[in-house]
Structure 1
Amino acid sequence: MLNPTQPYFYLLAYLTVLYIRPHEFVPGFIGLPILPVLLVSAFVFWLFRQPKRFEASQFWLVPVLMVAMSLSVVFTGWIGGGINVLSDFAPVVMLFYMVATSTDSLQRMRQIFLVLSACITVIAWHGIDQSIKGIGWTGAQLSQETRITYLGFLNDPNDLAMALVMVLPMILQLARHFGLLLKLASWAAAGAVAYAVYLTNSRGSVLAMGAMLLLYGILRYGVVKSVIVLPILFAPLIALGPSRMADMSADEDSAEGRIEAWYEGVQLLIMRPLFGVGKGLFADHHGLTAHNSFVLAFAELGMIGYFFWLSNIVISWLMLQRLVLMPAAAGASAEETAQWDAIRENARTLWYGYVGGLVSAFFLSRSYVVILYLHIALIVAIYQFARAQRPDFPAITWGERKGRMVIFTIGSVVGMWLLTRVLLAFT
């Protein structure tokens, strides 16, 4: 049960306001610091009342990443900028800690899914209304006269598409557990969200949904059969995808600009290999953003900061992979098997959204956005819950993988450089 003395009450309220942002367009609420008040309230209750488990490596990787972000700016000689980075990213860290430790049951995971699904459905209907009228009820206007937008951190159509894609699997999962009327409502919501993705006219989102379908095909049919099934599933995306998909080529203006930005990111890393050019300062050197979250991370944070950023990404992926692929314990009772199946179902849902988010992030400069770390927090939460239910469930720690993470960090940079060189040869 939720009540105002629980941190979870304020946490769900914070997530609702974070996404819908009524204080930015409802008369009488404009300018009120609703988000900071809700976040601080939730954090205070969490700090003194919430039982906590800090088993996952992300609990120290995320704050270390925040320090690395700050140092990347400090080592450029701008100490005040380093302090600003800490204050800007601190709310994300607070949210991460609260979600990862407070979402300690399947019921609470479902509540998070329900809140995010409801919020993203409202945003989707706003986008549909905006596409018809040219301006939404929030006052948000179309981008480039055709692409829907929203408010706050979703004011860019590509960012909006990324959020829609990451939450869509949650809506589809909820539909499986509702009665007929709510199931129909959920399917209608999923349809609205999918249509809103189309209205963002984001090419990256189409690729993200394709990657989600690929993962679905592999988990459902296996690798071999998915090769046959995937073209059938992917065909509607190609046929009905954004009009800009037809312009996707290495020498198209937008694509060429992205490739040049990726190349510049590698050059900035060579110039400042340890701590980078400073978090948020890529555009000061190139004039435009990196258009790739991986490039942005290693260019701005250097190899040290990028190592911890990528560690968060990879460890979270491995957690989901192990959760989804590991069957129930041998000799488990019917009840234990059912609960483990429910855990794996939630992990699959998060994995679909995570794949979609990472593919979107590959074409966007979204290395530090709140939705990515909210998703990682939910991954940590389901992982810790699984560990609490099954003592035999093996842990995934950064310590036993730090050597491979060094190799993977260097390899990903070299791979990005090689990809850039190949693409530049065709422009």
Structure 2
Amino acid sequence: MAYLLFLLANAALFIRPAELFPSLGDVQLYLYLIAAAILCGMSGIHNQLRMSTLIQQPINLCMVGLTLSVATSHISTGGLGAAAAGLNQMIKVLLYYLLLVSVVNSVQRLRQFLLVTAVCSSVMILIAVVDFHGFVAEWSNRADLFDVREQEKDLPDRAPKQLRHVVDLHGHDIDGSPQWVFRLCGLGMFHDPNDLSSMAVVTAVMALYFLFDRSLSLARYLWAGPVVLMFWAILMTHSRGGILAFGAGAMAWLAVRFGGKVAIALGVLGALAVPVALGRQGNMEISGGTGQQRIQLWADGLAQLKSLKLPFGIGEGKYVEVAGLVAHNSYIHAFVELGFLGGMMFFGCFLFAAWAFLRIKRDRIPIRDAELLRMMPYLAGILGGWCCGMATLSRCYVPNTYMIVGVLAAYINLVGYYRVRPQPVIALDGLVVQRWMLSSAALLAVSFAFVRLFTRWS
């Protein structure tokens, strides 16, 4: 029952009935479903928190540590009320993750979860794309577009707006007319072009997994539709981060499927073709424009760590107060808000997943399940695409990030079970902890060096 309720709750993350049918009002279907799933799956959640499990699956430990870091980031600055509020929100995300890894405990369930997620995401993006093309047709020649855009840009996120998608102004033509760029947005938590593009990359990889599944016979070719839809959605978001995420996901898939040399060769060719083929979306300039603006945001945040705030950070949700905007980089955002300890926990969620995939590939760990073995390149592609996408987004505390983390952790758990002799792929010990700390310190040091080299203050 917990598994079925969790599938329904996860579907509600993508397709919210209240958005499709406004007459339902503020009914939070997801909250009811996830609460019921948690109650039914409490024993499995408890098992994920056992000390032995935390050692055998370091990602679980990172999630618990990350949740506690949200509270300590506020306590260290005297914000007890903010600590309680932040901890309350993050515990909900932690329970979502723990429930996922506890109920997705077989190859069949993991496959079903990928199927439901791919279908729900495809439906959500299809609805968004259809609405987007109608929106563009409606607003392309509207004389009042600029005025409406100015009126709505400071409205709260949940406030009703006429502009359902992002409209950016990119200069004027020779006649002085504004040049508008319409950017596709999704529903709910994906109502941001960059969020939607990252999810489209993940969905494309999932769709490819089913497209190349010969056990589905001719029915597998139906998945060509979602694959094409995802590519179109990525282009319509005009998200440079989405293009980078797509490239990273493709290279990760190629590296695991065909080897690193093939991935590098095709990656170089793709990098050369992108600026020509995609125009503005393929322009990755960092010396000016939005690229330079984001580097300056990173510099403003990292400057806060040159103090006693390094261990515990400035406080969850406080980045906007020091930089004016969020970091648009989840790794830097986590280190600045949660300090080195919290940033290490956030980074560890993805470091241990990548480390496990590397160990499986490098050590040629035999997996006694053909379907689990076939999944590996696709989940590596999801990992690569999402990790790259987070370098252009601040998404440290939202469920969709930990849906990806949970899927990867569930896969790694299953690989450990289906080894010739069941044992964890990676278990915590002194050497692993040392490498984890050094990798986190290296990431932070590289971030400092990068902003020092490339920040151009006018």
Give the TM-score normalised by structure 1. Answer: 0.89
Find the residue that maps to 2:126 and give its secondary structure: helix
Amino acid at match of 1:169: V
Q: 290-299 vs 305-314, which deviates more? A: 305-314
- Asked if residue 303 in structure 1 is aligned to residue 333 in structure 2, the reply is no
Whichever residue aligns with residue 412 of structure 1, its letter is: L
Could you tell me which runs of 5 or more consecutive residues in structure 2 were left unpaired when the two chains were aligned. 138-159, 168-180
Secondary structure at the residue paired with 1:110? helix
Among the aligned pairs, what percent are the same residue?
Answer: 21
Q: Which residue of 2 aligns with 1:371?
A: 400
Confirm whether residue 147 of structure 1 aligns to residue 145 of structure 2.
no
**C-alpha contact (below 8 Å) 2:9/2:30 kept by paired residues:** yes
2:427 counterpart letter in structure 1: T
Q: Which residue of 2 aligns with 1:322?
A: 359
Cα 1:192/1:64, change in 2 over 3 Å = same
Residue in 2 that maps onto 1:354: 383
Query: Shift of residue 62 of structure 1?
Result: 0.8
- Partner of 2:209 in structure 1? 173
Separation (CA, whole Å) in 1 of partners of 2:285 and 2:359:
36
The residue that corresponds to 2:124 in the other structure is: 123
Shift of 1:224: 3.0
Once residues 91 and 113 of structure 2 are traced to their aligned partners in structure 1, the CA distance between those partners, rounded to angstroms, is: 21
Alpha-carbon distance in structure 1 between the residues aligned to 2:87 and 2:46: 26
Instruction: Give, as a single letter, the amino acid of the residue that structure 1 aligns with 2:428.
Output: W
- After TM superposition, the structure 1 = structure 2 runs for residues 170-209 of structure 1, keeping only pairs within 5 Å, are 170-177=206-213, 179-209=216-246
- Partners of 1:326 and 1:393 lie apart in 2 by 14
SS at match of 1:146: strand
Alpha carbon RMSD of aligned pairs, Å? 2.5
Paired position in structure 1 for 2:110: 109
CA deviation map 1:35-73 (0-9, x unaligned): 111011000110157895634122232122111111101
* Separation in structure 2 between the aligned mates of residue 130 and residue 382 of structure 1, nearest angstrom: 35
Q: Return the offset for 1:140.
A: 7.3
**Aligned equivalents of 2:96, 2:226: Cα separation in 1:** 26
- Secondary structure of the corresponding residue to residue 353 of structure 2: helix
Residues 175/381 of structure 1: CA separation in 2 closer, same or farther (3 Å cut) = same
Q: Offset at 1:30?
A: 2.3
Say how many residue pairs are matched.
412
**CA gap 1:65/1:49 in 2 versus in 1, 3 angstroms:** closer
- Segment drifting more, 70-79 vs 19-28: 19-28
- 1:238: Cα distance to partner? 4.3
Amino acid at match of 2:345: F
User: Is residue 127–residue 199 contact of structure 1 (8 Å, CA) maintained in 2?
Assistant: no
Q: Could you tell me whether the CA contact under 8 Å between 1:275 and 1:302 is conserved in 2?
A: yes
TM-score of the superposition, structure 2-length normalised? Answer: 0.83
Partner residue of 2:442?
Answer: 411
Q: Secondary structure at the match of 1:396?
A: coil
Matches within 5 A, 1:219-368: 219-233=256-270, 237-241=274-278, 243-246=280-283, 248-271=284-307, 272-327=309-364, 329=366, 337=368, 339=369, 341-368=370-397
- The separation in 2 between residues aligned to 1:85 and 1:28, in whole angstroms, is 31
1:58 aligned partner: 59
What is the alpha-carbon distance in structure 2 between the residues aligned to residue 221 and residue 49 of structure 1? 37
Change (3 A) 1:167 1:323: farther
Q: Confirm or deny: 8 A CA contact 1:120 1:193 kept in the other structure.
A: no
Q: Which is worse superposed, 412-421 or 218-227?
A: 218-227
Amino acid in structure 2 at the alignment position of 1:47: M
Give the conservation status (yes or no) of the 8 Å contact 1:292–1:361: yes
Q: Quote how far apart the aligned CAs of 1:424 are.
A: 1.9
How far has the Cα of 1:318 moved from its partner? 1.3
- Partner amino acid for 2:113? I
* Greater Cα offset, 183-192 or 221-230: 221-230
CA distance 1:343–1:308, shift in 2 (3 Å): same
Change over 3 Å in CA distance of 1:389–1:180 after alignment to 2: closer
CA distance in 1, matches of 2:411, 2:313: 34
